[in-house]
Amino acid sequence: MAKRKSRQKTKQDKYERRIKEEHLWDKIFLLHIKKSLYVIIIWVLSIIIHEAILRFTGVDEPFFTAIAIYIIPAYLLISVIHTLSKHKRVEGK
């Protein structure tokens, strides 16, 4: 009897961990208006900071360039795909 309860408990634990991981994925990549505005503001600020550093020092600084050119557009693309797929799953049910 103890083994059966422990197996059920491990299955329950696995299920709970999977649910938590899905919620974390949604928390990071599910877009809302407020989060979209934050991302756009950070994107514009990173472009402005990159240009300011370039003009004042003459050095092409790679950190804000990477944020503006690679990281934020990739995040937006992944978030849009995740959000659309999430809405299609909800509508399909």
Say what the pLDDT of residue 28 is. 82
Average of per-residue pLDDT across 77-90 = 84
pTM of the predicted model as reported, rounded to 2 decimal places: 0.67
Domain limits for position 45: 31-93
My answer on whether 48 and 15 are in the same domain is: no
Q: Is the pLDDT of residue 3 over 60?
A: no
The structural domain count of the chain equals: 2
Tell me the per-residue pLDDT of 7-60, one tens digit each, with 9 for 90 and over: 556 766 776 776 666 777 778 888 888 888 999 999 999 999 989 999 999 888
Q: What percent of the chain has pLDDT over 90?
A: 31
My answer on whether 64 and 19 are in the same domain is: no
My answer on whether 44 and 23 are in the same domain is: no
My answer on whether 46 and 26 are in the same domain is: no
My answer on whether 36 and 73 are in the same domain is: yes
CA distance 89 to 63: 37
My answer on whether 14 and 41 are in the same domain is: no
Q: Is the pLDDT of residue 87 over 80?
A: no
Cβ neighbour number for residue 68 with a 10 Å cutoff:
20
Say what the pLDDT of residue 38 is. 92
